[in-house]
Amino acid sequence: MFEASARFRFPFFALALAGLVTSCTVIRPGQIGIRQRLGVLSNQTHTQGVVFYMPFVSRVVKTSLQLNDIELSISLPSKEGLSVTAQISILYRIDPNMVPSLIRNLGLEHRNIISNVFRSASADVCSEYFAKDMHSGMRSEIERAVKVKMSEILTKQGIIVDAVLMKSIQLPNGLAQSVEQKLQAEQDAMRMEFVLKRERLEADRKIIEATGTRDAQKILSEGLTDNILKLRSIEALLEVSKSPNAKVIITDGKTPYILP
């Protein structure tokens, strides 16, 4: 009798254990989950850990909170009416406090919505700039302006735009050559300015050197008085007299002139 009862309880416990296992899910790091019961979303969210739910009538909807990236290749209009091809990267993430509202309004597949918002925002912003500005140092200014315009629409939906990156810009052929020629001319002008500056420094160095030589000679000539010259002559005659070699010395008593 006891064995029959035990055999009866074993399938019950097995079914209960199987039901317990199938009625829980794991929220991993970087994810957030929300219960959905009979199609109705709860306002309570769950971060990493185990979440239990009642099978057949409820489930747990999970979405990522990590930084996501959308890559786009798009043609942007410029102020002069040209089309500039650009490779764009949009970095965004989900606001954890607005996950229920986001799922209700946009669902889990919201990449297309972000792309469409970017196309509208970038068209409005880039139409205020010349094509050459997108290829110059004003690119970061354009990126910030597009990000601000996108955030005005997406932030209240629960999507945070972290950055808009214009990774590569392809200008029309004629304009690209003009920009390259302008950059080359600017580099040549900078190189010539460097050469002129170097030559001016060299000229200043020579002037300083010549001025120093002139001043030294002036000081030396001012110091060569008649008495000093006589003293130098006597010293020279004394040195000559010490030499054993024969020589002829012609002198006027002031300066000697030695014949070999």
What is the pLDDT at residue 259?
47
Q: Is the pLDDT of residue 16 over 70?
A: no
Report residue 152's pLDDT band, with 50, 70 and 90 as the boundaries. very high
Is the predicted pLDDT of residue 29 greater than 80, yes or no? yes
Query: Is pLDDT at 135 greater than 80 in this prediction?
Result: no
For residue 101, the model assigns a pLDDT of 85
Task: Please tell me the least confidently modeled range out of 76-85, 146-155, 250-259.
Answer: 250-259
Is the pLDDT score of 161 beyond 90?
A: yes
Tell me the average pLDDT across 105-132: 86
Which is more confidently placed, 34 or 220?
A: 34
pLDDT at residue 35 above 70?
yes
Q: Buried b / exposed e across 183-204, counting CB within 10 Å, b at 16+?
A: eeeeeeeeeeeeeeeeeeeeee
Residue 1: pLDDT over 60: no
Residue 162's DSSP bridge partners are: none
For the chain, give every domain's residue range: 17-64, 68-175, 227-259
Q: Which two tokens stand for residue 198?
A: 């170097």
The per-residue pLDDT for 188 is: 72
Least confident stretch, 9-18, 50-59, 131-140: 9-18
Q: Is the pLDDT of residue 2 over 50?
A: no
Higher-pLDDT residue of 39 and 151 is 151
Using the Cα atoms of residue 44, residue 50, residue 54 and residue 56 in order, give the sign of their dihedral.
positive
Q: Is pLDDT at 5 greater than 60 in this prediction?
A: no
Give the CA distances from residue 82 to residues 78, 101, 128, 180, 201, in Å, rounded to whole numbers and listed in that order: 5, 40, 12, 17, 47
Q: Which of 11-15, 168-172, 248-252, 255-259 has the lowest mean pLDDT?
A: 255-259
Mean pLDDT for the stretch of residues 52-78: 83
Instruction: Give residue 252's pLDDT.
Output: 60
User: Which tokens in the block code for residue 179?
Assistant: 């920009």
Look up the CATH number of domain 68-175: 3.30.479.30
3-state secondary structure of 56: coil
Residue 136 has pLDDT above 50, yes or no: yes
The pLDDT of 207-235, averaged and rounded, is 73
Give the amino acid at 195. Answer: V
User: What pLDDT does residue 147 have?
Assistant: 93
